[in-house]
Amino acid sequence: MLYILAGVVSVLFLVADQITKWYVASNFTLTETRPLINGVIDLTYVHNTGGAWGLMEGYTLVLIALTLFIMIICIAMLMKEGFKSKLLFFSVCLIISGGIGNMIDRIFRGGNVVDFIHLHFMPTFPVFNIADCAVCIGAGLLLCYFIVDMIKDYKTRRENEASIHSPSGKNDIK
């Protein structure tokens, strides 16, 4: 059931991303700002030809290739391990969803990704979009997965070491 939910949430992120980008691009002039929640969040229509924080600006083909590479790694992770862990599955689905959302822009908007969410209370923080949110949430969950996985591996090794060196003097290798 959770796998279906992860798929639905990922599709909803992608659809919300594309609808909001379409809305902003259709109803705002470039660089126009309108408050969404006064003093908290503004909608500011900008084009980003780079990656996060504008890195690699103008290298659209490299960014598309990099996104494809990351998505291939994510799909490989899903095929190898994805159904063993709900957290891994959910995180990778979000990363893929966000990657697709921004890749659609890069391909169909001449290398421009539509960004519009501006945190008014953090004026120097880059403007971003819903696809960026999906990638960041997915990456955060993926980091949590790896941390939890490392802790499980550590505990398993400790238990195995303890059973090998049991007080009975027997090797209890499982």
115: annotated active-site residue: yes
Q: Classify burial at 81, counting beta carbons within 10 Å of its beta carbon; exposed 0-12, middle 13-18, buried 19 or more.
A: middle
Q: Residues near 86 by Cβ (< 8 Å), separated by ≥ 6? A: 2, 3, 6
**172 catalytic per annotation:** no
Distance CA 92, CA 142 (A): 7
| Cα–Cα distance measured from residue 40 to residue 20, given in angstroms and rounded to the nearest whole number | 18
Among candidate residues 17, 42, 132, 149, the one labeled active-site is: 132
User: Please, which residues have CB within 8 angstroms of residue 54's CB and are 6 or more apart in sequence?
Assistant: 48, 126
Catalytic residues: 115, 132
